[in-house]
């Protein structure tokens, strides 16, 4: 199977179309909080697709609770890593809405912030290409668009009771600090393999 190489200019043009379309949709089509969330998730997925990136989600051995969790992140993948998080983390977690509003701001009815739960749900994002892992994702869009085979690995780590997370003091994967999306610190207990 041959791989089609998409030029960087084509990817950047496609990205411009995604951003323009999302902006027009958010301004022209009225709706509530559900429509707003759908637009944020779809825009995040379309931006990553336009840049030629894929998202791979690595699930924890024990599933997260359906409700009552607090989203805690720790990664150095920048805004694109946050877009990958939006497409792969449950919307029911406290902190998801704040992350979505920061990364894909859309006018409209906002969902009220959910209170933090009794469980901390840590997440980290790593990046790799066909050549191997990236220690740091390029910050300029034209450099990201030039990468071939970009994959964001979203690691959903083991859920930790809130009181145990406070005792760990913010330690995360490989020394990175795990930070709650709402601004408080928490911790993860699993190492990304």
* Total-model pTM: 0.72
Q: pLDDT 10s per residue in the chain (193 long)?
A: 455 556 666 666 666 666 666 666 666 666 677 778 888 888 889 888 888 889 999 999 988 887 778 888 887 778 888 899 999 988 888 888 888 888 888 776 666 666 666 788 899 988 898 888 887 777 777 788 888 888 999 999 998 887 766 554 454 444 445 566 654 333 333 333 3
**Cβ neighbour number for residue 189 with a 10 Å cutoff:** 15
Cβ contact 152:80 at 8 Å:
yes
Strands (E) in 13-150, as ranges, are: 54-58, 69-73, 119-129, 132-133
């Amino acid at each position: 199977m041959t791989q089609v190489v998409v030029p960087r200019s084509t990817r950047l043009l496609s990205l411009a179309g995604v951003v323009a379309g999302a902006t027009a949709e958010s301004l022209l089509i009225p709706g509530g909080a559900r429509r707003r969330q759908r637009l944020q998730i779809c825009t995040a997925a379309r931006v990553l697709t336009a840049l030629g990136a894929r998202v791979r989600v690595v699930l924890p051995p024990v599933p997260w609770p359906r409700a009552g969790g607090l989203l805690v992140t720790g990664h150095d993948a920048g805004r694109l890593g946050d877009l990958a998080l939006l497409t792969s983390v449950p919307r029911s977690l406290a902190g998801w809405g704040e992350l979505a509003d920061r990364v894909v701001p859309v006018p409209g009815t906002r969902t009220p912030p959910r209170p933090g739960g009794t469980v901390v749900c840590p997440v980290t994002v790593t990046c790799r290409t066909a050549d191997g892992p990236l220690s740091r994702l390029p910050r300029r869009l034209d450099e990201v668009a030039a990468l071939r085979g970009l994959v964001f690995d979203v690691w959903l780590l083991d859920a930790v009771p809130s009181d145990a997370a406070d005792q760990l003091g913010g330690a995360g994967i490989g020394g990175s600090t795990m930070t709650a999306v709402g601004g408080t610190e928490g911790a993860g207990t699993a190492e990304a393999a």
